[in-house]
Amino acid sequence: MIAKRVIFEGRVQGVGFRYTTKDLARGFEVVGWVKNLPDGTVEMQAMGEKEELEDFLKEITEESAVSHHIQTVRTEAIPLLEGVRGFSIEK
């Protein structure tokens, strides 16, 4: 089990990015959340088995309907998320 913090940069706010990400999460065994940041980026924290999480990220960045809005993806390992169930959109 691993957890990652991902920052998506580009035209990722106002295009349904968070909703698409939440919808895609249903197809993977991952938990976490996604939210808009004040600087125009989107932050996601997600946890799952390594391969499952990598496939989820690949789906978002390469195959989703919003992938063309992403210019840069910054990813870092973080401690496992505690008490997180499901995948949500945070305010």
Residues labelled catalytic: 18, 36
Beta bridge partners of 9: 72
The backbone torsions φ and ψ at residue 80, rounded to the nearest 5 degrees and listed phi first, read -55, 140
The Cα 73–Cα 43 span in angstroms is: 10
In the chain, which residue ranges form alpha helices assigned H by DSSP?
A: 17-25, 50-58
